[in-house]
Structure 1
Amino acid sequence: MSTLTTNDSAVLHALFDAESSPSSAIQIDSTLPPFPANIQITPEDHESLGNRETSIIKSLQTDNVSQETIHSAITALDALIEDNPTYPPAYANRAQALRMLVDKESSLSEKLELKTGDAMFTDPANTPTVSRLFADLGQAINLSTPVSPADPVSPVQARILADAHTHRGYLLLKAARARRDSKAQGVGQLWELGSDQLEEMASRDFFLGGRYGNKIAQQMAVQTNPYAKMCGAIVKEAMRKETVG
């Protein structure tokens, strides 16, 4: 018979079972307008902006997209945001385009100069773009987050929050690993944080991404959860001692 209390069993279940993610606590209401009440975008405007945004994004959905095309898409998204500064999807999509640009430039740089490590966080030339990328993800999240965690969200809100939190969590985890493994001297505010702190921040974003419905984020939240990792290490050590004994 198990000697665990009901509370202990519930805690362990929540730590190790991705399916127990509290995404069920989020109420998604399809009758709500796409964005929070403080964002004055009508359904008609949303449709028009969505069509404009889609035409921009389509230019990036090709194999081996060029740097010039990425720059053009970012410029077009800049104009869209300037015209509609409270439209959350534009920030999330510009963040995607900025990441594509950094990945493209870093890949070319590594081929030409044989650089090692993660150039996204170790190459000073990438610092302004990476900072802008994180700022865009933060703005998409801020504009889409409900006033109260208990407030229901629209399907559009849930999707933006799931994607933006997951994207930011992935980048923070990437930064944590670069911080831990790279011999290069990194730059920027992220590099001022320790790898454990960056990984905890990533875990928090994965938790929220999963909470809003991203299945990959739910799995990553469990893998990066510091308490789950600590419990796993304790169990592993106990099993090792039992085997040795």
Structure 2
Amino acid sequence: MSNTSSSSSNTQSHSSSGPTSSHDLNLVDVLFSSALDGEFVRDQIAGTYKKYDHASDSQTADPFEANKAIFPIDSALLLKLRNREIQAIRTAESGDLQAGVDQLSQVITEYPHYSSAYNNRAQAYRLQNNDAQALADLDQAIRYAQDKATLGQAFTQKAIILRAQGDQDAAYYNFSQGAKCGNEVAQMAAPKENPYAKLCGRMVAEAMRQLVVPGNK
């Protein structure tokens, strides 16, 4: 579509009180959609997606730097732990979820400072609808994390659970921390969970509804 025709179409829609165009209806649909799943794709299509800017947040998320010194894990041991973790994940994915949890629990019992095992056991607990235990594990994963990927995933998992529980402020904080660690889901979610952005978004959405659908209250 050319710029000329687009400009003409826009002029007609603002100067006419006729039927709402399909473009405007789609815009309203995007503005009023609130589900986490799929909303980022709609935002990208609509051109409204904004990447999370960690420079605008004064909080930091880098405890893994200190943890490397406090809870050292040498490369040989780390390889063994990862292999056991992979086996536990495969067990869970094969359908025996509890056996996978038990294998991860054994790793944690032997090496209680190994963050990744807490992170993966939390995922298993979520599949068992045990959010309380999942949150406890994620707190431990965050406490002992020694790399950004694990830390970011833990913050993001925690944010998703808290969001589902209705704790929007805590969800935003954890999404923002996950975003700083480079987690892509958190980077997409953090701007949407910002309470100030949400308030502005609702105000803009209401203004657009009044503009696009005349007479709607």
Q: TM-score, normalised by structure 2?
A: 0.66
How far has the Cα of 1:238 moved from its partner?
A: 4.8
Whole-angstrom distance in 1 between the partners of 2:61 and 2:76: 24
1:38/1:18 Cα in 2 relative to 1: closer, same or farther (>3 Å)?
A: farther
Which secondary structure does the structure 2 equivalent of 1:41 belong to? Answer: coil
User: CA offsets per residue over residues 113-145 of structure 1, 9 Å max, x none?
Assistant: xxxxxxxxxxxxxxxx4322110001001112x
Where structure 1 has 5 or more consecutive residues not aligned to the other structure, the ranges are 1-15, 103-128, 145-155, 177-197
Query: Comparing both chains, which one has the higher relative contact order based on Cα–Cα distances under 8 Å and sequence gaps of 6 or more?
Result: 1
Equivalent residue for 1:86? Answer: 113
Where structure 2 has 5 or more consecutive residues not aligned to the other structure, the ranges are 1-47
Query: Which one of the candidate residues 51, 74, 81 is aligned to 1:49?
Result: 81
Equivalent residue for 2:150? Answer: 160
Contact 1:23 1:210 (C-alpha < 8 Å) held by counterparts: no
Contact 2:52 2:191 (C-alpha < 8 Å) held by counterparts: no
How far has the Cα of 1:81 moved from its partner?
A: 0.7
How far has the Cα of 1:27 moved from its partner?
A: 11
Aligned 1:144-155 pairs, distance under 5 A: 144=145
**Pairing 1:170–2:153 present:** no
Q: Which runs of 4+ in 1 moved over 4 A?
A: 23-28, 237-245
Q: Size of the alignment, in residue pairs?
A: 164
Identical counterparts, % of pairs: 31
User: CA offsets per residue over residues 159-200 of structure 1, 9 Å max, x none?
Assistant: 111111111111111111xxxxxxxxxxxxxxxxxxxxx011
Whole-angstrom distance in 1 between the partners of 2:116 and 2:194: 28
Q: Which has the larger radius of gyration?
A: 2
Query: Which one of the candidate residues 37, 52, 59 is aligned to 2:69?
Result: 37
1:212/1:23 Cα in 2 relative to 1: closer, same or farther (>3 Å)?
A: farther
Equivalent residue for 2:169? Answer: 200
Q: TM-score, normalised by structure 1?
A: 0.59
How far has the Cα of 1:239 moved from its partner?
A: 4.9
1:53/1:143 Cα in 2 relative to 1: closer, same or farther (>3 Å)?
A: same
How far has the Cα of 1:20 moved from its partner?
A: 4.4
The letter of the residue matching 1:98 is Y
**Pairing 1:60–2:92 present:** yes
Whole-angstrom distance in 1 between the partners of 2:99 and 2:205: 51
Contact 2:138 2:154 (C-alpha < 8 Å) held by counterparts: yes
1:135/1:27 Cα in 2 relative to 1: closer, same or farther (>3 Å)?
A: closer
1:24/1:200 Cα in 2 relative to 1: closer, same or farther (>3 Å)?
A: closer
Which secondary structure does the structure 2 equivalent of 1:59 belong to? Answer: helix
Which secondary structure does the structure 1 equivalent of 2:93 belong to? Answer: coil
How far has the Cα of 1:21 moved from its partner?
A: 2.0
Contact 2:52 2:190 (C-alpha < 8 Å) held by counterparts: no
Whole-angstrom distance in 1 between the partners of 2:147 and 2:55: 14
Whole-angstrom distance in 2 between the partners of 1:54 and 1:242: 54
